[in-house]
């Protein structure tokens, strides 16, 4: 037998009979959070690396019934966290039918709601609003007006319905009143003009505001949350003091603290499932994933990259997707079914890197593409050491020093590359064991060998040309042995 579904109250009288009790949105969030904590349910799905830092602080803020602000650089999941606050709301909430401000049937806020209850009594119609419709989000911009946030007098409504302009019924409500009994999120708060911040603070603190000279009292029930870049918030000082004082908790977000966490986030967020119905087999070697993530870590540490802007976690995500796409392009050209990304694919993904780094003056002088190539080299050196520390590639280096070269095109098939690399002494043999590779898996072996050559280049054992060729290090570079931060080419003015 099917379980009988309980009918939701449809009128104010039925709501009262049901025993439903009004509570503030902050009480609602708090009580539902407590229930999740007691049952051990995970908070903020898909948000990794914050379990011991950010999430406990948010939990404390909600338990304290605080409005709060998330301070962090771009790409630190601030918006995702704010949007998931709706998971702490009830499934549905009763409102007076037709209300623009989610009037509580038992405690109507607006004049419209009060008039409905006065006119219809217990027969006042009730509607039910889902949690997803109780979240209102606004990106703060300098041109945001008080009308956008609070509302404005609507002369057309006044004329049509025969009201005085000072009548509350002539008001067109803005985003904040429409978030009543829900969550209002303001992203990039410092970009909001000071006078708008005053209006925002005033209606939250005092419950009133003046619209076109008419006082409007709206004691809103709203959970107010913000996000901001910490540099904007603390250095530029664009948030007015009364509003800062009203924000109960200031919570700092951060980038992944280690490589393993970064690769886990990228693996979760990047687009991999693109070959449905094809016979293409995609596999990204661990050293390639780690290399991509390490590039982002190197960029965050580089003095030529603007620390105030940061290097978003979208950087390795976009690079990973571009790397896969270049391997996919190669598979269509060569007819291969195995998609195994290589170092050459990482270089092909430069357009996914350069637009995600804000550069300081020194970086601008060098140029974003050249800097990105340096970052790849440094990252390769770091990851190479982790896999091949203590491995002797002397015979391989000697082969290059005898004047031999090898060019591995990003569109060459695995078999073509295999023929080239078999002529390099000890390269394949020395690569297999540390990475536990099967010699029969040619595509992965080729990717690993190219990674080794890149690592040798990063440590100035061999040289790399702009077209992806590997050769002996010139005498000038030998004199700088050990300086793994040297650039790909020696250009005038940057030696």
Do residues 409 and 468 lie in contact, with contact meaning Cβ atoms separated by under 8 Å?
Answer: yes
**Average per-residue pLDDT for the chain:** 88
pLDDT of residue 474: 64
Our measurement of the distance from residue 397's CA atom to the centroid of its chain's CA atoms, rounded to an integer in Å, reads 42
How far, in Å, CA of 75 to CA of 358, rounded? Answer: 14
Exposure string for 372-385, b = 16+ CB within 10 A, e = fewer = bbbbbbbbbbbbbe
- 425-481: per-residue pLDDT in tens? 999 999 999 999 999 999 999 999 999 999 999 999 999 988 889 998 865 455 544
d(CA 126, CA 39) in angstroms, rounded, equals: 32
Mean pLDDT of 282-294: 97
Element (H, E) at 187: strand 182-187
**Segment holding 300, helix H or strand E:** helix 286-301
Q: Which residue has the higher pLDDT, 162 or 409?
A: 409
pTM of the model: 0.86
CA-nearest of 274, 196, 221 to 24 is 221
Q: Copy the structure tokens of residue 254.
A: 């951060």
Q: What is the C-alpha to C-alpha distance for residues 172 and 153, in angstroms, rounded to an integer?
A: 6
Q: DSSP readout, 208-239?
A: EEEETTEEEE----EEEEEEE-HHIIIII--S
* Of residues 241 and 445, more confidently modeled: 445
Q: In this predicted model, what pLDDT tens digit does every residue of 367-386 receive, in sequence order? A: 999 999 999 999 999 999 99
- Write phi, then psi, for 94 (nearest 5 degrees): -80, 140
Superfamily of domain 12-252: P-loop containing nucleotide triphosphate hydrolases (3.40.50.300)
For the chain, the domains span 12-252, 259-478
Give residue-wise pLDDT tens across range 102-131: 999 999 988 889 999 999 999 999 999 999
pLDDT band at 2 (very low <50, low <70, confident <90, very high): very low
Alpha helices in 389-482 (DSSP H): 394-401, 414-421, 427-435, 442-458, 475-478
Our measurement of the distance from residue 365's CA atom to the centroid of its chain's CA atoms, rounded to an integer in Å, reads 29
Phi first, then psi, for residue 290 (nearest 5°) are -65, -40
How confident is the model over 32-84, as pLDDT tens digits? 999 999 999 999 999 999 999 999 999 999 999 999 999 999 899 999 999 99
What are the two backbone dihedrals, phi and then psi, of residue 179, each rounded to the nearest 5 degrees? -90, 5
Rounded mean pLDDT of 90-102? 95
The distance between the two most distant Cα atoms of the chain, rounded to a whole number of Å, is: 97
What is the distance between the alpha carbons of residues 467 and 489, in angstroms, rounded to a whole number? 12
| Maximum average pLDDT range among 142-151, 254-263, 265-274 | 254-263
Of 81, 74, 79, which is closest to residue 312 (Cα–Cα)?
Answer: 74
The predicted pLDDT at position 488 comes to 44
Q: How confident is the model at residue 142 (pLDDT cuts 50, 70, 90)?
A: confident
What pLDDT, on the 0 to 100 scale, is given for residue 182?
96
**pLDDT for 487:** 44
DSSP state of 408: -
Report the share of the chain in percent with pLDDT over 90: 70
């Amino acid at each position: 037998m099917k379980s009988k579904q309980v009918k939701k109250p449809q009128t104010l009288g039925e709501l009262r009979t049901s025993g439903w009790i009004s509570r503030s949105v902050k009480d609602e969030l708090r009580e539902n959070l407590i229930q999740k904590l007691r049952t051990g349910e995970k908070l903020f799905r898909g948000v990794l690396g914050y379990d011991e830092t950010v999430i406990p602080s948010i939990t404390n803020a909600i338990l304290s019934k605080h409005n709060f602000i998330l301070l962090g650089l771009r790409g630190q999941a601030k918006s995702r966290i704010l949007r998931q606050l709706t998971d702490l709301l009830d499934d549905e909430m009763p409102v007076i039918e037709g209300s623009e401000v989610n009037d509580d049937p038992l405690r109507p806020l607006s004049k419209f709601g009060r008039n409905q209850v006065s006119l219809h009594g217990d027969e006042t119609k009730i509607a039910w609003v889902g949690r997803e419709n109780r979240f209102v989000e606004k990106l703060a911009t300098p041109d945001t007006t008080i009308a956008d946030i609070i509302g404005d007098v609507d002369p057309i409504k006044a004329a049509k319905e025969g009201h005085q302009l000072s009548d509350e019924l002539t008001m067109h409500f803005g985003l904040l009143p429409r978030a009543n009994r829900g969550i209002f999120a303001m992203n990039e708060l410092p970009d909001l003009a000071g006078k708008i911040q005053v209006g925002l603070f005033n209606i939250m603190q005092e419950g009133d505001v003046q619209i076109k000279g008419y006082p409007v009292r709206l004691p809103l029930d709203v959970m107010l949350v913000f996000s901001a870049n910490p540099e904007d918030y603390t250095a530029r000082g664009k948030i007015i003091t009364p509003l800062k004082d009203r924000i109960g908790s200031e919570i700092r977000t951060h980038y992944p603290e280690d490589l393993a966490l970064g690769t886990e986030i990228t693996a979760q967020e990047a687009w991999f499932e693109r070959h449905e119905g094809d016979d293409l087999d995609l596999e990204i070697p661990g050293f390639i994933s780690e290399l991509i993530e390490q590039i982002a870590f190197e960029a965050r540490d580089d003095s030529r990259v603007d620390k105030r802007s940061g290097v978003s976690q979208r950087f390795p995500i976009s690079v990973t997707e571009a790397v896969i796409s270049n391997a996919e392009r190669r598979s269509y050209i060569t007819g291969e079914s195995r998609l195994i990304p290589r170092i050459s694919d990482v270089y092909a993904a430069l357009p996914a890197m350069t637009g995600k780094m804000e550069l300081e003056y020194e970086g601008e002088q060098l140029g974003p593409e050249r800097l990105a190539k340096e970052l790849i080299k440094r990252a390769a050196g770091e990851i190479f050491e982790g896999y091949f520390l203590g491995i002797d590639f002397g015979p391989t280096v000697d082969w290059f020093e005898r004047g031999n070269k090898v060019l591995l095109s990003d569109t060459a098939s695995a078999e073509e590359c295999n023929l080239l690399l078999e002529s390099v002494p000890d390269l394949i043999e020395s690569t297999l064991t540390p990475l536990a590779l099967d010699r029969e898996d040619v595509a992965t072996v080729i990717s690993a060998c190219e990674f080794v050559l890149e690592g040798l280049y990063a440590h100035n054992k061999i040289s790399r040309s702009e077209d992806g060729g590997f050769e002996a290090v010139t005498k000038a570079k030998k004199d700088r042995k050990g300086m793994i931060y040297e650039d790909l080419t020696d250009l005038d003015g940057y030696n």
